[in-house]
Each structure stands twice: as C-alpha cells, then as structure tokens.
Amino acid sequence: MKCVNHIQQEADGFCVYCGKPFCKDCLTEIGEKYYCRKHVGEAFRRVPEEIPITPSYPVPPSSPTIINNFNAVDHYPTRSRVAAALLCLFLGVFGLHRFYVGKIGTGLIWFFTFGFFGIGWFLDLLSIILGFFRDRDGMPLV
C-alpha cells in the first residue's frame, strides 16, 4: 500500500484518527500510536480528564505527575447518518445538515444560496445515503 502524500513510497503505518496509510516521514508516534500531520493535534485536543498516576521514580509530594490515557478514536463524538439524512432531505436547502456535522462555513454557503442552487443539496443527500459524507474532522457518519 502506498503513502497518501508520497505515492512513490510504501506506507509504514496508518493514522489512528483518519485510518489512511502514510510513510514514516508523514507519521508521528505518540504513546505507541501513529498520527498523520493533519491529525497529530487531535492526540492532545480532547482531554476528558487528567488521571494522576504513581511514577516509577521518586517525586517530591508537592508535585504530582499527571498523564493522559486517552484514545481520540474511541471517544470521538459520532454523528448520526439518519439524522443528517433527515435534516438534508427536509431542510437541506438551508444547509442544516452541514451545521449538524460541524461544517459551518459550507453550511452558511448552503443557507445563502439555497443548497448551492439545489445541486449541492442533491449531491449531499446522495453522499449521505451512500455513506460517503464526512463530518468536520473527516470521520464518517454512523
């Protein structure tokens, strides 16, 4: 399998966030997981809570050690494909399905152009039904 960014190079791993194959130059390892350059920030962005642990080396009692045991893919807030399809079907010309999945910019374009003159609304409806529509972060709707 080839790297998404460097077609001439073989992929050395997959981004745990988007699942695409990348070569060693495009991947960053964080906590035994690989992230592409686009999603490396996601490893740190959504922190549910900080969990104190006992370190393996002596630490003064006044300075606790805190780590983050968080997997971005396991805790990703998924969006419903059925809800997006219903919003698109009934209110798609106003772009409400795009606001629902977090695409605010194109949602505004759809709102002011009545679904990008109807063509964008129809293509969005097809892509949602067929399962190709993605949310703001590139994750598929479930």
Q: Is the pTM of this model over 0.85?
A: no
What number is the average pLDDT over the span 97-112? 94
- Say if residue 129's pLDDT is above 60: yes
pLDDT in tens, 17-76: 788 888 888 888 877 788 887 777 766 665 445 445 555 555 555 544 445 544 445 556
The domain spans of the chain are 13-67, 81-130
Show the 3-state SS of 77-139: CCCCHHHHHHHHHHHHHHCHHHHHCCCHHHHHHHHHCHHHHCHHHHHHHHHHHHCCCECCCCC
Identify which has the larger pLDDT, 119 or 44. Answer: 119
